[in-house]
């Protein structure tokens, strides 16, 4: 151990070499290298966690940079795990960074988290939250959960018994996943850049408290933070009534669980396409291009080519009688368009070919702005 590196921690009353040794012998898995994951990773690395796992299959994009300060403009297009591993090693070469350059799924998550002491959920979608929660419950792993949107953030610790022996999990707070498109995430609702930095740093702090035994971790509590008012309040989380939800009892039942995976559940008639496929389809007769973003979102598209039906007024689209045979829906990130495509499929069935642009305008920005 490099004592000078950790000197300010070692001299803390109630911390010392005992707590530092616990950190150096610990394993923490961070799922997601976004707005929450970046600060959590930086502070855990600096604190001296022995082994940190990082799972994320995404690449750096320009829209990440206002909040994901582990990355730079020159990193755009690079795998987040590659960039993060290099930067974190520069912060503290004593820490081993285990990189997993892929997204977690029901097929890989149990094996992934098995060797870690603590799991940090730094994702930004409901499918992943339920997937990670149920895996942690099954394997009895402490889970540090966080979420941010707009100017507010939430933080909680699940699957860790409090002083009364009570254990809760994410489903005690939200028993079942919300309907597709029902609740927007931060890519749709927006988020002030500094907010995930604050909440992600809190996730790192809770991990350090769990590992070292200092302080009072947020067991069975959810902390709510409002940036505009600089205010906090806590809510007690209690076990939900019996039969409110179902948890997997073993790995076999886990693999059969429905975590609200839009892509897995979507009917085959709704097809996700890339930009080259969009170009091919739009050349066909009887093709309609629909933008489901709100009117204020940029870049603005040519209204001579794209018809606009904001997702916030989805019923207007459903009430419209579409005569075209081919319907292509787009949005900023390919999330709302996929949801809208499902609704259209419920209306038209196999009468029409319905498509959603995968990754949305954010992924194919050069095409839409050139």
The gap from C-alpha 151 to its chain's centroid, in whole angstroms, comes to 17
Residue 228 tokens, joined? 């505009």
CA distances from 355 to 138, 195, 200, 280, 317 (A): 37, 35, 36, 12, 15
Give the integer Cα–Cα distance in Å for 129 and 123: 7
Q: CB burial class (10 A; 0-12, 13-18, 19+) of residue 147? A: buried
List 132, 331, 340, 354, catalytic entry: 331
Cβ(203)–Cβ(217) below 8 Å = no
331 catalytic, yes or no? yes
Give the integer Cα–Cα distance in Å for 78 and 175: 36
Give the integer Cα–Cα distance in Å for 139 and 34: 25
List 186, 266, 311, 338, catalytic entry: 186
- DSSP string for 269-310: TEEEE-HHHHHHHHTSSSEEEEE-S-TT-SSPP-TTTEEE--
According to DSSP, the β-strands at 221-226 and 152-158 are antiparallel
The helix (H) or strand (E) run that includes residue 250 is none
- DSSP string for 120-173: EE---SHHHHHHHHHHHHHHT--EEEEEEEBTEEEEEEES---TTS----HHHH
Residues in the chain: 370
Give the integer Cα–Cα distance in Å for 321 and 102: 41
Residues 6+ apart with CB under 8 A from 184: 149, 336
Phi, psi of 63 (to 5 degrees): -70, -10
Buried b (16+ CB within 10 A) or exposed e, 236-262: ebeeeeeeebeebeeeeebeebebbbb
User: Which are the catalytic amino acids?
Assistant: 186, 331
């Amino acid at each position: 151990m490099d004592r000078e590196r950790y000197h300010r921690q070692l001299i803390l009353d109630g911390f010392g070499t005992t707590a530092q040794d616990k950190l150096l012998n610990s394993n923490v898995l961070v799922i997601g290298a976004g707005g929450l994951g970046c600060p959590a990773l930086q502070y855990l690395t600096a604190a001296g966690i022995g082994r940190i796992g990082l799972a994320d299959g995404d690449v750096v994009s320009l829209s990440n940079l206002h909040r994901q300060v582990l990355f730079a403009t020159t990193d755009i297009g690079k795998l987040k795990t590659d960039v993060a591993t290099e930067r974190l090693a520069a912060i503290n070469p004593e820490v081993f960074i285990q990189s997993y350059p892929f997204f977690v799924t029901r097929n890989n998550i149990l094996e992934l988290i098995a060797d870690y002491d603590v799991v940090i959920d730094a994702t930004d979608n409901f499918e992943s939250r339920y997937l990670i929660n149920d895996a942690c419950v099954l394997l009895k792993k402490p889970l540090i959960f966080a979420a941010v949107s707009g100017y507010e953030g939430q933080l909680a610790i699940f699957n860790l018994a409090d002083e009364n022996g009570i254990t809760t999990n994410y489903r005690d707070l939200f028993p079942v996943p919300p309907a597709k498109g029902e609740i927007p995430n931060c890519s749709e609702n927006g988020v002030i850049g500094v907010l995930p930095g604050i909440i992600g740093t809190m996730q790192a702090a809770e991990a350090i408290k769990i590992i070292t035994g200092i302080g009072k971790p947020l067991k069975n509590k959810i902390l709510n933070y409002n940036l505009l008012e600089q205010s906090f309040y806590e809510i007690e989380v209690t076990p939900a009534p019996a039969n409110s939800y179902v948890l997997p009892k073993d790995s076999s039942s886990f693999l059969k669980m429905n975590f609200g995976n839009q892509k897995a559940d979507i009917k085959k008639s709704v097809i996700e396409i890339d930009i080259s496929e969009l170009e091919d389809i739009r050349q066909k007769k009887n093709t309609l291009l629909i933008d489901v973003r709100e009117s204020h979102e940029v870049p603005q598209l040519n209204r001579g080519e794209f018809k606009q039906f904001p997702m916030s007024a989805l019923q207007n689209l459903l009430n419209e009688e579409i005569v075209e045979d081919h319907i292509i829906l787009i949005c900023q990130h390919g999330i709302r368009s996929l949801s809208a495509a499902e609704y259209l499929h419920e209306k038209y069935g196999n009468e029409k070919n319905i498509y959603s642009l995968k990754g949305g305008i954010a992924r194919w920005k050069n095409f839409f702005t050139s």
